[in-house]
Amino acid sequence: MTLRIGIIALGKISERTHLPLYKEVKGVEVVAACDPDQERARLMQDQFKIPRIYKSYQEMFKNEELDAVSVNSPHRFHAEQAIAAAKHGLHVLVEKPMALSVKDIRAMIAASKKAGKVLMVEQFMRFLPAVYKAREVIQSGKLGKVLTIRGHFGHAGPEYWSPEGKWFLQKKEAQGGTMLDIGVHEIDLMRYISGKQVVQVSAFLGILRKKIDVEDNAVAVLRFDDGTLGTLESSWTNNPGSCRTEFYCEKGILDMNLSFGDPLVIRRPEKEPQPVPLPKKHPEKSPMAYFVKCIREGLVPHCNGAEGGRSCTVVLMAAISDKEKRIVKVPEIG
Ligand SMILES: NC(=O)c1ccc[n+]([C@@H]2O[C@H](COP(=O)([O-])OP(=O)(O)OC[C@H]3O[C@@H](n4cnc5c(N)ncnc54)[C@H](O)[C@@H]3O)[C@@H](O)[C@H]2O)c1
């Protein structure tokens, strides 16, 4: 049976990933979408041949028979819309950052659990071949125990990604800046590949270059549950952008540099750097294909609400650490 998808919000992430990638999945149809900006909605409707568009998710839920939704609105609407969708009996794929408070993250998880539906957080970097291989290398134990992790993700800022998305740069609409936007990707990579949980965070956030009221740069130090230490940097002023995650292990270093050359290299003492061969594609093809597979096969996604929630919680706690000038204990999720 065809799986009927509704899309909440038709901004850049819908245009660049959700709409084109759902088209590649067999037995799936985007039957409807909504966005308060009807001009933008009509543009996307024409481009992707979306049968029906609405102004709000309430209107869409009232008029459509759906099985699942993608929640692709600005961060501050994720919790309300994901919860409403779960209560409406729908599977939910929600964009990162999952939500803007721990309370909301927990409420989203509880709502999907009560509905018995899939809740997946769209941490798309988990679906890169280099990330798949990096996790395999670390989890195999061949480099020994991970002792420290250094993570950095920076680019020029969301104004280059979505020129219309001015809300990203405003505290009252976005709550936070680069840490919430892309720091959440980096911490998710560090956690997913290492399989460790962050228990404490201490951070500094700064507005170093842009005339905005959310941070354009942030650094955090982390303690993981087994004592592993880490640093996390996030920037909206890196041009060209870079994304590098280094795992310093007992027997060598795994260097995942997604921005340059061979993205995955193992370095050992007194040996030539050893590039790790990568598959052309991740076995799951795309986050949307994996979301559909989880629905059809009754699987719990590896980036479920608890997992996406844990990465999101770390960056939420980093902002609290900076504001209150203290080390913050990271609450457990799930
Ligand atoms: N996974 C990723 O790598 C990735 C990349 C970019 C953006 N995102 C996330 O996707 C979300 C959207 O980002 P974007 O770049 O598409 O932003 P955008 O500014 O390009 O688009 C946002 C859209 O949401 C619409 N909107 C505003 N209020 C709404 C509401 N109440 N209900 C429904 N729609 C509403 C706007 O009209 C606009 O069309 C953000 O949370 C962002 O962090 C994720």
pLDDT at residue 248, as a whole number: 98
The pLDDT of residue 262: 81
pLDDT at 259: 87
The tokens describing 322, both together, are 């900076």
* CATH assignment, 3-124+286-301: 3.40.50.720
**Per-block mean pLDDT, blocks of 10 residues, the chain (334 long):** 97 98 98 98 98 98 98 98 98 98 98 98 96 98 98 97 95 98 98 98 98 98 98 97 97 94 92 95 96 98 98 98 98 94
Q: Which residues contact 205 (CB under 8 A, 6 or more apart)?
A: 176, 177, 179, 215, 217, 218, 318, 319, 322
For residues 99 and 120, give the distance between their C-alpha atoms in angstroms, rounded to a whole number.
Answer: 13
Hey, where are the domains in the chain?
3-124+286-301, 125-282+312-329
Residue whose CA is at the smallest distance from ligand 1 atom 21: 11
Ligand 1 pocket by Cβ (under 6 Å): 8-13, 35-37, 40, 72-75, 77, 95-96, 122, 124, 161-162, 164-165, 181
For residue 168, give the ligand 1 atom closest to its CA.
Answer: 19
Same fold, 3-124+286-301 and 125-282+312-329: no
Predicted confidence at residue 249, as pLDDT, reads 98
Q: State the pLDDT at residue 261.
A: 77
The CATH number that domain 125-282+312-329 falls under is 3.30.360.10
pTM value > 0.95:
yes
What pLDDT does residue 334 have? 85
Closest ligand 1 atom, residue 40 Cα: 39
User: What does the DSSP assignment read for 246-258?
Assistant: EEEETTEEEEEET
What is residue 61's predicted lDDT score, i.e. its pLDDT?
A: 98
Ligand 1 test: best mutation among 7, 8, 13, 125, most atoms within 8 Å of CB?
13
**Of all atoms in ligand 1, which is nearest to the CA of residue 75?**
41
pLDDT at 224: 98
Instruction: Please identify, by atom number, the ligand 1 atom nearest to the C-alpha of residue 36.
Output: 37
pLDDT at 38: 98
- The structure tokens listed for 156 are 């020029």
Q: How far is the CA of 117 from the centre of ligand 1 (A)?
A: 23
